Amino acid sequence: MTQQTRYVIAVLPGDGIGQEVIAEAEKVLRAVAERFGWHVELRHGLVGAAAIDQTGRPLPDETLALCQSADAILLGAVGDPRYDDPRSRIRPEQALLALRKTFELFANLRPVWVHPALASASPLRPEIVQGTDCIVIRELTGGIYFGEPRVESDQRAVDTMIYHRNEVERIARIAFQAAQRRKRKVTSVDKANVLACSRLWRRVVDQVARDYPDVVLQHMLVDAAAMHLMRHPRDFDVILTENMFGDILSDEASVLAGSMGMLPSASLGEGRLGLFEPVHGSAPDIAGKGIANPLAAILSVAMLCRYSLRREREAKAIENAVGRVLEAGYRTADIAVPGQPVVTTQQMGDLVVGALSAQGSGT
Ligand code: IPM
Ligand code: MG
């Protein structure tokens, strides 16, 4: 018997449409493994509200152990309106923050690419969005998301934004290296006219930039960047920014791609273990209806192949398969324009699997 390469993937579907889109992502992962001749073992774990319901905690120890033993983590979404009450002490989102922090996944990569076939799916004019190809590189384990002290009382609340030089430096290097493989431009987004953290950010990014003389660096204030992204999205290549600005700008950027349902993400640390998830949330309003767009989750599997398994051919094969399905005119409801056939979540997954198998092997 020949020894096959074998990967263990921790699969955490989580809440709402997370369950539905991850089911399709799993199909694609199995199909790509089969086509390229390696073995993948998918081990499921509880996360988010689904985990709170069964164990009382958003990130049970078993899930953490499962992730620790895996080559990569594939996550659906966390969030449930039952925990929206600002007084609730346990929230599904805590699981995601804990996973990022525990595995030191400090680099969040969110590519925003407008597929030519989807230029008219955006609420913005096609001539503005077409040709957009940028990536938000968001610092993910620092800043106001994790700063101490944090105080919460009825009279006063405190959040603290902290950045250390080394945190800025390591994410900046990721951004410059990404730019070297792309269009050689980094736009670093901050609020240096107001925030001390942003002034440190700017100084460190300027220093790191000296090591990458082939990359053009531009600084932009976050308010201006939010506007520029809607007016001239093609001006951007790599958008480097801190945790909360990146959270906001990446949702904004999703409008360019036609739908939140199109955007994948990777969260990476120093090692190979990464967490891959669609940028969208659990979307309770459409959960269980079979209409969610699974492409963000499927494209997250492509990123999983690229960054954790280091299998670029497989990543490309998945991206090409998605491209062909879109070119053939298939749309889930979120990206459909009048006259186009609308397919369900499952049908979209099957179409991608079909397109994947139809490609000649080894290409
Ligand atoms: C995201 C989400 C999370 C974040 C939430 C769910 C905690 O909005 O991944 O963008 O704010 O980072
Ligand atoms: Mg967000």
- For ligand 1, pick from 97, 139, 276 the residue to mutate: most ligand atoms within 8 Å of CB: 97
* Same domain, yes or no: 296 and 311: yes
* Same domain, yes or no: 275 and 246: no
* Same domain, yes or no: 280 and 253: no
Give the C-alpha separation, 190 to 247, whole Å.
Answer: 13
Spatial neighbors of 271 by CB under 8 A, at least 6 apart, are: none
Flag whether 173 is in a domain: yes
- Atom number of ligand 1 nearest to Cα 243: 12
Spatial neighbors of 299 by CB under 8 A, at least 6 apart, are: 262, 263, 264, 278, 318, 319, 322
In CATH, what number is assigned to the domain containing residue 318? 3.40.718.10
Question: Atom 8 (ligand 1): residue with closest C-alpha?
Answer: 247
Residues 104-129: what's their mean pLDDT? 94
Flag whether 114 is in a domain: no
Flag whether 115 is in a domain: no
Q: How far is CA 106 from CA 162, 222, 350, in A?
A: 14, 20, 34
Tell me what pLDDT residue 363 has. 43
Note if the bond before 13 is cis, omega within 30 degrees: no
* Same domain, yes or no: 243 and 331: no
* Same domain, yes or no: 148 and 216: yes
Flag whether 192 is in a domain: yes
Range of the domain at 92: 1-107+259-363
* Same domain, yes or no: 248 and 316: no
pLDDT by residue (tens digit) across 118-169?
A: 998 899 999 999 999 999 999 999 999 999 999 999 999 999 999 999 999 9
Q: Report which listed range, 3-7, 35-39, 255-259, is most confident.
A: 35-39
Cα 259 versus chain centre, distance: 14
Boundary (domain end) residue, out of 228, 257, 286: 257
pLDDT by residue (tens digit) across 296-350?
A: 999 999 999 999 999 999 999 999 999 999 999 999 999 998 878 899 999 999 9
Instruction: Say what angle helices 295-307 and 312-327 make with each other, to 10 degrees.
Output: 160
Give the C-alpha separation, 107 to 110, whole Å.
Answer: 10
Boundary (domain end) residue, out of 239, 257, 275: 257
* Same domain, yes or no: 2 and 90: yes
One-letter amino acid at 106 equals F
Task: Single out the catalytic residue among 183, 185, 191, 316.
Answer: 191
Tally the domains of the chain: 2
Q: Do 189 and 156 form a contact (C-beta atoms < 8 A)?
A: no
Boundary (domain end) residue, out of 257, 277, 310: 257
Nearest to 91 by CA among 10, 13, 11, 14: 14
* Same domain, yes or no: 350 and 277: yes
Which ligand is nearest to the Cα of residue 281, counting in written order? 1
Residues less than 5 Å from ion ligand 2, measured at CB? 247
Residues with CB under 6 A from ligand 1: 93, 96-97, 247
Flag whether 112 is in a domain: no
Instruction: Give catalytic status of residue 251 as yes or no.
Output: yes
Kindly report the average pLDDT of the chain as a whole number.
96
Flag whether 113 is in a domain: no
* Same domain, yes or no: 149 and 239: yes
- Atom number of ligand 1 nearest to Cα 100: 12
Instruction: Determine the distance separating the centroid of ligand 1 and the alpha carbon of 281, expressed in angstroms.
Output: 8
- Atom number of ligand 1 nearest to Cα 97: 7
pLDDT by residue (tens digit) across 43-102?
A: 999 999 999 999 999 999 999 999 999 999 999 999 999 998 888 899 999 999 999 999
* Same domain, yes or no: 241 and 271: no
- Atom number of ligand 1 nearest to Cα 140: 12
What predicted TM-score, i.e. pTM, was given to this entire model?
Answer: 0.96
* Same domain, yes or no: 131 and 159: yes
Flag whether 277 is in a domain: yes
* Same domain, yes or no: 279 and 209: no
Instruction: Determine the distance separating the centroid of ligand 2 and the alpha carbon of 363, expressed in angstroms.
Output: 35
Flag whether 147 is in a domain: yes
- For ligand 1, pick from 75, 108, 247, 251 the residue to mutate: most ligand atoms within 8 Å of CB: 247
Confidence category of residue 194, pLDDT binned at 50, 70, 90: very high
- For ligand 1, pick from 15, 93, 108, 112 the residue to mutate: most ligand atoms within 8 Å of CB: 93
Instruction: Give catalytic status of residue 191 as yes or no.
Output: yes
Where b means 16+ CB within 10 Å and e means fewer, 44-81 reads: ebbbbbbbbeeeebbbbeebbebbeebbbbbbbbbbbe
